[in-house]
Structure 1
Amino acid sequence: MTGGVRKRGSVWYYYFEVGAIGGKRKRIERRGGKTKKEAQTALAEAIVKFNTGYVEPKKETVGDYLNNWLENHIKENRKISTYHRYREFIRNNINPNIGNIMLKDIKPIHIENMILTAKRKKLSGTTLQSLYGVINSAFNKAVKLQVINNNPCKYIDRPKRDKFVASVLTVEEFNTIIDSLDETIYYDYAFKLGLNIVIELGLRRGELGGLEWENVDFNNHCINIKNNLTYSNGRVMIGTTKTDESERTLYISDNLIRILKEHKKIQNKNKVKYGPDYIDNVFNGKKFDFIMTWENGHYVHPNYYTSKFRKILNSMEFEKSIRFHDLRHTNASLLLEQGVDFKVIQTRLGHSDINTTLNIYSHINLKMQQNATEKLAAVLSGGKPVAKNKNSH
């Protein structure tokens, strides 16, 4: 491929031949800079881009590209809840700041300023990291599609996630909540059932709502976590679990087996009681036989668990700041305090990365280290308490 540079007026231009198109030779010529050296550098970069199939965006803005990426890539390949979440980030934080910038002109400083603007809005570190993740993912795709030559996100620091300390209940506190429920009222009965399932299995609320009777293996004391009942963009949807690792099989206790069998009997009686008025739960043309239903068969809305839990704690004037999701953390904390291995906890919770488990429960890990240190010290001292230095104060 041949090319060169030339000066026109006070500006240097570069040009190169790209072969014959329709019997005519095709030449690309662009402005290269104010000096001959700048034009030569621009020529070399242009030839590399052309040879690697790079396509220079014409008049596409960042906002135009993101809308296309969202509709044609994210919507087609990711969970619908992810699509809605990304759309909110783009609508509220990305487009107002960099949406009108030409895609070919996007620079690291634009991303940096966008993050700083979001930070001034008092968004959490976790949210800022998610915002960065959305734009970084979008621009990575743009590089693969060869509509930009480089991802500007890689030149700025990724926002740090807030250090998370799990809020947990004691066994006594959990039992106090359980005892406050009146099982003669079906709403309380159903919520108590959900509490018992979550405290033993550590499920997310969507996983709880998506449980079907076919997921329970009574003979082998197992339950398969496969569905996720979620509320997004104004409607309830059924989908797969949050990650591949979240689809898992959990061992369940004799007590939970008994509770589930009793619930199945109650549900069957309600089917007879309501007859043709008993509601079938159909999503995407498929009928789901949910465990968690109201008396008339209708699924329990995912938001109910959150709101009901909050109302109970408010009525009890509970001092701790606890969410329904924190029952999942309580489950893991109780297991860890009983000496259950972190790897087992990771599997039970459905974490894709054990570091997620270790980071969330680091405070309990320190307690476990203390026990381990004391045991090691006992071994090193021959099983006797380590003598203290008489001169120590």
Structure 2
Amino acid sequence: MEGSVRKKGSRWYYSFELPSIDGKRKRIERCGGKTKKEALEALNEAMYKYANGFVEPKKLTYDAYVTDWLEDYIKENRKINTYERYKSIYEHKIKPYIWQYLLKDLKPILIEKLLSAEKKKGLSNTTLEGIYGVINNSLNRAVRLQIINDNICKFIEKPKRNKFISNTLSIDEFNLLLSSLDPNEYADYAFKLCLIVTMELGLRRGEVAGLEWSNIDFASNIVNITNNLIYTNTSVEIGTPKTIESERSISISNELLDLLKSHKKIQNLNKLEYGENYIKNKFNNREYDFIFTWKSGQYIHPNYYTLKFRRLVEKSGLNKKVRFHDLRHSNATLLLQEGIDFKIIQTRLGHSDISTTLNIYSHVTNEMQKSATEKLSNLLFPSKINIKK
């Protein structure tokens, strides 16, 4: 592949001929700059790109590109809930603004106007960061595929996520919720056990819903987290936990193991009662022996945990805005208050990065800092002696 440069008017242009396809030859000519040196540099860069598979997106719209990106890349390589979230963000928050633009014509100002318009609707910075993230990730992929030369998102100020402060339950508040459940009703009994498991182990909703009996090592007091039962807006599916680090082993107390052993006996009695009508839960051509099921053996829908918890909070009279997921935050907060190391908590929660743990529970850390200062002060000034000149 050879090229040349020439001056036309006040500008320098470069040109080169592409390899012939089916006997047809094509010559590329572009403006290279104000000087011959700039044109030669632009020529070398352009020939390198074409030699290494760069495709100039002359007629590819952003909508067409993102549709392929979502269906052929995200859906195949990410968790199904990630695909659903990305798709929803694109359809409702991005597509209405820039779907019709050619990929090569996207400019930073278009993305800034998009984010500004959504912010005026009252969206939080966290949501805006999610919108920015989808656009940025899609364009990063386009750069790697050499469909475009650069990602315009690097010229845009990224929205800063709102600082997250988790709502948590004290032990007294947690016990209040438990006391509001009727142990003689199977649904309440099973949910009570579910709450205790979640509170002690700090599990996500999908992780507790996907727990199997084979995940419990009764001899070693260990629970292995390997499943994630989720609702994808269209169906209930089972997969692996959120990240590689989320597949973890957690120590479990003897007291909770005893409760699970008793539950296993109750479940076995249910199997005898229902006989051939006892439901077998199959996903991905495999049968799952879930710990938490209805009396009939049917798995419990992930959304049930959220709805049941909300109703339970209202029923108990607890004047606090908490979610099922806040049991996980309560678990971590209680461990921190008991002086458990952050690294241990990170491992138990399955966070891929300790900074995630530190950021979420920074408010707890501040209280611990005050306590540490007070304890150190008591050591340094045991009698609180005033120093006089």
Q: Judge same fold: TM > 0.5, yes or no.
A: yes
Alignment-mate amino acid for residue 96 of structure 1: P
CA shift, 1:50, in A, is: 2.7
The question of whether the paired residues in 2 share the 8 Å contact of 1:15 and 1:27 is answered with no
Alignment-mate amino acid for residue 336 of structure 1: L
The question of whether the paired residues in 1 share the 8 Å contact of 2:248 and 2:348 is answered with yes
Q: TM-score, normalised by structure 2?
A: 0.93
What residue is the counterpart of 1:5 in the other structure? 6
What residue is the counterpart of 2:101 in the other structure? 101
What residue is the counterpart of 1:30 in the other structure? 29
Distance 1:234 1:388, change over 3 A: farther
CA distance in 2, matches of 1:318, 1:280: 37
What residue is the counterpart of 2:87 in the other structure? 87
SS at 2:162's partner residue? coil
Show CA shifts across 1:353-384 (max 9, x none).
11111111111111211222233334444xx2
Show CA shifts across 1:62-119 (max 9, x none).
1110011111111111111111111111111121111111011112222222222222
Q: Which deviates the most, 319-328 or 49-58?
A: 49-58
What residue is the counterpart of 1:128 in the other structure? 128
SS at 1:250's partner residue? strand
The question of whether the paired residues in 1 share the 8 Å contact of 2:3 and 2:43 is answered with no
Distance 1:23 1:274, change over 3 A: closer
Show CA shifts across 1:284-340 (max 9, x none).
110000000011101111111111111112223321111111011111111111111
SS at 1:352's partner residue? coil
Distance 1:346 1:2, change over 3 A: same
CA distance in 2, matches of 1:33, 1:249: 59
| 1:366-377 to 2 correspondences below 5 Å | 366-377=366-377
What residue is the counterpart of 2:236 in the other structure? 236
What residue is the counterpart of 2:288 in the other structure? 288
CA shift, 1:6, in A, is: 5.0
The question of whether the paired residues in 2 share the 8 Å contact of 1:13 and 1:39 is answered with no
Identity within the alignment, %: 53
Alignment-mate amino acid for residue 365 of structure 1: T
CA distance in 2, matches of 1:199, 1:34: 64
Alignment-mate amino acid for residue 345 of structure 1: I
CA distance in 1, matches of 2:379, 2:317: 47
Distance 1:194 1:21, change over 3 A: closer
What residue is the counterpart of 1:71 in the other structure? 71
Tell me the C-alpha RMSD between the 2 structures: 2.3
What residue is the counterpart of 2:343 in the other structure? 343
CA distance in 2, matches of 1:188, 1:329: 23
Aligned length: 387
The question of whether the paired residues in 1 share the 8 Å contact of 2:180 and 2:315 is answered with no
The question of whether the paired residues in 1 share the 8 Å contact of 2:4 and 2:15 is answered with yes
CA distance in 2, matches of 1:215, 1:34: 65
CA shift, 1:280, in A, is: 0.4
Q: Which deviates the most, 316-325 or 168-177?
A: 316-325
Q: TM-score, normalised by structure 1?
A: 0.92
| 1:237-276 to 2 correspondences below 5 Å | 237-276=237-276
CA distance in 2, matches of 1:22, 1:300: 60
- Gapped regions of structure 2 (runs ≥ 5): none
CA distance in 1, matches of 2:232, 2:21: 51
CA distance in 2, matches of 1:223, 1:29: 62
The question of whether the paired residues in 1 share the 8 Å contact of 2:12 and 2:36 is answered with no
Distance 1:3 1:188, change over 3 A: same
The question of whether the paired residues in 2 share the 8 Å contact of 1:248 and 1:350 is answered with yes
- Gapped regions of structure 1 (runs ≥ 5): none
Alignment-mate amino acid for residue 137 of structure 1: N
CA distance in 2, matches of 1:266, 1:175: 23
CA shift, 1:268, in A, is: 0.1
CA shift, 1:31, in A, is: 4.9
Q: Which deviates the most, 26-35 or 281-290?
A: 26-35
Q: Which deviates the most, 171-180 or 119-128?
A: 119-128
Distance 1:307 1:3, change over 3 A: same
